[in-house]
Amino acid sequence: MSKKEKSEYYIEMNQKQYDEMYRFYLKLGYSEKQAKKLSDCCFGADIVVNEKAYYKNDWCFWRKRVYAPEPLAGLRGAVANMLGGAGRKGGMPMQRMAYMDEGCCAAEPVGDSAQMMIPAPMPSLEVQSEPEDSFNTAETHHAPEIEEEGPLDRPQMIFSANVNTASWSYIRDKVSQNQLIDPDFVRIEEIINSYAFRLKSPKNDDLFSVSAETGSCPWNEESELLMIGLKGKKASKKVKQNLAFLVDVSGSMENEWVLVQMSLAAVMSKLRKGDYMSVIAYSDNTTTVVKKMKCGDMSDYVKAIMSIDGIGGCTRGSEGLENAYQYLTDNYDEEANNRVFIFTDGDFNFGITSEGGLSEFIYKKRETGIYLSIVGYGRQNFKDNKMEALARNGNGNYTFITNPADILDNLWEKLVSSLVTVAKDVKISVELNPCYVKKYRLIGYDARVLTQKEFNDTEKAVDGIGSEHNVAALIEWKKGTAEKTYSSRYVTTKSEDNKDEFAFIEIHYKTPEGVDSVMTHTIGIDDLKKSDGKNMPVITLLAAFGLLIKDSEYKGTADKEMLRKLLTEIQKDENIETCEPYGHFDIISRYIG
């Protein structure tokens, strides 16, 4: 292509989809003018409304290219007319344009009565076509399920707190699209912890509240269920934000850019006067688009987003992270929450690319005091394992976006909780009294199980908990008195006779300042009797759903009919919202059919 020629891009969209996007920006608090500007352009590509375009449930839009030798002021209207649509809202009159395909056509500026000369058949406008859905390179972990144990053989079940919701977003997207679910992507603890349980708040100066509830186990009549719930305290004061938005604009992200732009707009809309933000884009190279901008003016957010230009190319993810961390290190604010937000599919193909290498790289960044939030995208190419490893090792959290509902739920509604960390490296130990518990099994947390050494190792990196954040765990247990299965010459098997205790909880964590701390809590028999069990119906349903779609070895008699019965009982509770579109109960209803 000669220097005189320029390439212009457009994204074709159905009118209904355009209207939904426009309303989305209004919901975030942008003005009508700002919402229209965001809706009309995405990462340098014009949004073209075409009535013949089909509605994309997956919200993936492949960016298309039109070549021309001169600037195209009226491209969006011209392209839309040629496609048979109404064009972008507020479309412009036709200007001179030429398509560099086989035999090009040209049109001079025309008036209302003039006719545009277009040969037949019309030349193709597209240089790029939409990718084939059949080619799937998505990656994740395979973690063996936790086995059933006896409390004398394994006295402690130790696991790290979970604050991620990526697995739940993946699952509800697959259910909504009526597609098969890969069991390895099903992390039951993320299904459970994506729901806002009604847990009591901490009292006085306690950092956490700890509660417990029991109930029957519908998929195994020989078992009972025990729910352990933790709730973080509310941050004592408003913490100002110092954020660096690291945006993957590489070629593998092209069809996700609409969602990325909407995600950026959502996070920015939560920032207030006194906060600071920066925008860094990366692909072949890393570019600082916006430097330490003062927040509080929505029009500035629009300008910042509009300054990002999609450029394609490879993904130098580790280089982008290095630059983002260095930028925040140079602009560190001791009174602020210093955090990198990375928007990516995790397909790092230059620099550090392996899961292990990325884990080691990001682990060293913990010492900077900078937190990490990972927002993942993609269906056929996303690297769930790398993004999850980065979050786990980098003082971080990880969520997954497939449509605007995910953005509103995971980024907009829950943003405050995930941004302000009240405890780092939260590790939980649960001991059950062998006088009452014969066998037990922790449901989910398969990749989050820790050894006693890791539990006591203050340098072991695990997730933190945000302001007023909930963490729930569900344990399946069998009544009876435990007996030691395996004999030992030197270890005694006699247990203490604490008849008034059912379980002992020990939590190891660090304060945001890095001080190692321990909290303990005893769950008494009377505590369980007094519990109202208000959360048990929901957590039981979510666990049964997870066991079934994972095709778990421990799913017992769980099936769709069981889910239907559990859901029907929950819908009778007027205190539980069950009609939320794309919510937990809606998705389970769709799965049941």
Burial 308-319 (b: 16+ CB within 10 A, else e): bebbeebbbbbb
Do residues 405 and 493 share a domain?
no
pLDDT the model gives residue 28? 96
Tell whether the torsion through CA atoms of 519, 525, 528 and 529 is positive or negative.
Answer: negative
- Closest Cα to residue 211, out of 537, 544, 522? 522
Chain segment 343-354, per-residue pLDDT in tens: 988 766 545 556
Do residues 451 and 576 share a domain?
yes
Q: Cα–Cα distance between 157 and 475 in angstroms, integer?
A: 10
The amino acid present at 428, given as its one-letter code, is I
Do residues 33 and 65 share a domain?
yes
pLDDT the model gives residue 82? 47
pLDDT the model gives residue 96? 29
pLDDT the model gives residue 513? 82
Do residues 294 and 347 share a domain?
yes
Domain count, the chain: 3
- Helix spans in 120-275 (H): 166-176, 188-193, 257-269
Residue 391's domain is classified under what CATH number? 3.40.50.410
- Closest Cα to residue 533, out of 189, 211, 191? 211
Measure the N-to-C terminal CA separation of the chain; round to a whole number of Å.
53
Could you please report the per-residue DSSP string of 516-531?
EEEEEEEEEHHHHHH-
Q: Which residues, at least 6 apart from 292, have a Cβ–Cβ distance to it below 8 Å? A: 276, 277, 278, 331
Do residues 18 and 49 share a domain?
yes
Tell whether the torsion through CA atoms of 40, 42, 46 and 47 is positive or negative.
Answer: negative
- For 476, the token pair is 């399946």
pLDDT the model gives residue 85? 44
Asked whether residue 6 is domain-assigned, the answer is yes
- For 428, the token pair is 């939980």
List, in sequence order, every residue forming a beta bridge with 11; answer none if it has no partner: 47
Do residues 315 and 182 share a domain?
no
Do residues 165 and 37 share a domain?
no
- Residue matched to tokens 């013949």: 52
Asked whether residue 291 is domain-assigned, the answer is yes
Asked whether residue 145 is domain-assigned, the answer is no
pTM tops 0.85: no
Among 419, 438, 463, which residue terminates a domain? Answer: 419
- Closest Cα to residue 75, out of 52, 102, 98? 98
Q: Cα–Cα distance between 219 and 247 in angstroms, integer?
A: 44
Do residues 262 and 377 share a domain?
yes
Do residues 381 and 304 share a domain?
yes
**What distance lies between CA 386 and its chain's CA centroid?**
13
Asked whether residue 137 is domain-assigned, the answer is no
Q: What is the pLDDT along the chain (593 residues), one digit of tens a residue?
A: 333 334 478 999 999 999 999 999 999 999 999 999 999 999 989 999 998 899 988 899 988 887 654 444 445 544 444 444 444 443 333 332 333 333 333 333 333 333 333 333 333 333 333 444 445 666 676 788 999 999 998 999 999 998 788 899 899 999 998 999 999 989 999 999 999 999 999 988 889 999 999 999 999 999 999 999 999 988 877 789 999 999 999 888 888 999 999 999 999 999 999 999 999 998 878 889 999 999 999 999 999 999 998 777 776 667 888 888 899 999 999 989 999 999 988 766 545 556 667 677 777 887 788 888 889 998 766 777 777 777 777 777 888 899 999 999 888 887 666 678 888 889 999 999 999 999 999 999 998 999 999 999 988 878 788 888 899 999 999 999 888 887 776 666 555 567 889 999 999 999 888 899 999 999 999 999 888 889 999 999 999 999 999 999 999 999 999 999 999 999 888 778 777 888 999 999 999 98
Give the pairing of strands 45-49 and 224-232: unpaired
Count of C-beta atoms within a 10 Å radius of residue 349: 12
Domain of residue 300, residue span? 240-419
Among 402, 419, 436, which residue terminates a domain? Answer: 419
Asked whether residue 354 is domain-assigned, the answer is yes
Q: Cα–Cα distance between 403 and 57 in angstroms, integer?
A: 8
Do residues 385 and 297 share a domain?
yes
Among 387, 419, 451, which residue terminates a domain? Answer: 419
Q: What are phi and psi of 94, to 5 degrees?
A: -65, 140
Q: Cα–Cα distance between 388 and 399 in angstroms, integer?
A: 9
Asked whether residue 144 is domain-assigned, the answer is no
Do residues 440 and 499 share a domain?
yes
Asked whether residue 142 is domain-assigned, the answer is no
Do residues 23 and 69 share a domain?
yes
pLDDT the model gives residue 551? 96
Q: Cα–Cα distance between 278 and 174 in angstroms, integer?
A: 34
Asked whether residue 66 is domain-assigned, the answer is yes
Taking phi first (over 0 means left), then psi (-120 to 50 degrees means alpha), and beta for anything else, what does residue 251 get?
alpha
